[in-house]
Amino acid sequence: MNKIVFIDSITNDERTQWIQLLNEALSEEHIVLPEQVGEETVHEVDIAIVANPQPEDLLRYPNLRLVQSVWAGVEKLVSALRSQEFSRVQVRLARLEDTQLSISMAESVLAWTLYLQRNMSKYVGQQTAKKWLQLPNINSKHVRVSILGAGKLGLASLELLKKLDYQLSCWTRSNKQLDSVNHFYGVAGLKAMLAQTDILINLLPLTSETHRLLDKEKLAWLPLGSKLINFSRGSIVNTSDLIELINKGHIAHAVLDVFDQEPLPEDSELWSNPKITILPHISAPTNKKTAVKIVAETIIAYRKEQKWPECVDLSLGY
């Protein structure tokens, strides 16, 4: 009998919750933890459901065909699957694509765009200093908001931002036509878009192409006084370059939800910079109930109809 192994690096409580929900949704399947698979039965495992696993743990299962992540970001797995170590492994990787996750991200994008637009970070500072000062209010239809990436999360965010009439732009790898959104691609397109941006939101996946994309040179393409929101992956931004541009006053404020190292170390200078807002990776958390429903539907379609889910293109890295 084929087995599904659940591989993770999460807390025991979290693991118990996932296993319970998965067992309820996939009652015909045999879902096991790695320690429940003896060496004589490793060949029975053909699917892995994973929550931020150590990629090398997958190598134990010679007949593994499908790896289904319960997280949307899978860059660690992608880089392992592209490595020499995995060259003989015939496995495909599906990441979590959940409408509920896209809605959560769109809500976060709107909330923090409004935070920056309505000077909330400055009012926090003014309250601390007991300072009564009314700052100019700029209506959303005069605010230029640009999103890096228009995939599942970027498109949902653009749709929500449209309702407030922002001047919207986005930048992607391929050319596309989007309703009421200026579209840019390529390096020249990135430069042109950043030059006309008040609030920049990063929703790109972390790949070899996007790693440290936002460095000193590119951040300086933004106009004086612009603001940054990073909600996808910390390593897409060069943090020391960002701090330099913030300290120079070129970038007025940054809202960061993701970092090179998480949790953000206590001695990081980011914590105490008044022009940086730190969030603990909460812009779009996985909703276990909706995620399990999607994962179960994927696995049932794979088993009963041999239907593969949409999988990550390892050559592109996302």
Is residue 281 at the binding interface for ligand NAP, with CB under 6 A as the rule? yes
HEC letters along the chain: CCEEEEEECCCHHHHHHHHHHHHHHCCCCCEECHHHCCHHHHHHEEEEEEECCCHHHHHHCCCCCEEEECCCCCHHHHHHHCCHHHCCCCCEEECCCCHHHHHHHHHHHHHHHHHHHCCHHHHHHHHHCCCCCCCCCCCHHHCEEEEECCCHHHHHHHHHHHCCCCEEEEEECCCCCCCCCEEEEHHHHHHHHHCCCCEEEECCCCCCCCCCCECHHHHCCCCCCEEEEECCCHHHECHHHHHHHHHCCCEEEEEECCCCCCCCCCCCCCCCCCCEEECCCCCCCCCHHHHHHHHHHHHHHHHHHCCCCCCCCCCCCC
Is residue 203 at the binding interface for ligand NAP, with CB under 6 A as the rule? yes
Q: Report the residue number whose CB is nearest to ligand NAP.
A: 151
- Candidates 48, 61, 69, 73; binder of ligand NAP (CB under 6 A) is 73
Catalytic residues: 233, 281
Is residue 174 at the binding interface for ligand NAP, with CB under 6 A as the rule? yes
Least distance between ligand NAP and beta carbon 79 (Å)? 13
Q: What does the alpha-carbon distance between residue 294 and residue 100 come to, in Å, rounded to a whole number?
A: 11
Least distance between ligand NAP and beta carbon 212 (Å)? 12
Please identify, using beta-carbon distances, which residue of 25 and 206 lies nearer to ligand NAP: 206
- Candidates 50, 116, 284, 295; binder of ligand NAP (CB under 6 A) is 284
Least distance between ligand NAP and beta carbon 141 (Å)? 25
Least distance between ligand NAP and beta carbon 271 (Å)? 18
Residues 240-269 that bind ligand NAP (CB under 6 A): 257-258
Least distance between ligand NAP and beta carbon 304 (Å)? 26
Per-residue contact flags (x/-) with ligand NAP for residues 99 to 118, judged by CB under 6 A: --x-----------------
From the list 125-133, 146-154, 221-229, 242-250, the region that binds ligand NAP by CB under 6 A is 146-154
From the list 18-26, 55-63, 83-91, 201-209, the region that binds ligand NAP by CB under 6 A is 201-209
Number of residues that bind ligand NAP (CB under 6 A): 29
Residues 114-143 that bind ligand NAP (CB under 6 A): none
Q: Under the rule (CB under 6 A), what is the footprint of ligand NAP?
A: 72-73, 101, 149-154, 171-174, 203-207, 209-210, 231-233, 257-258, 281, 283-284, 318
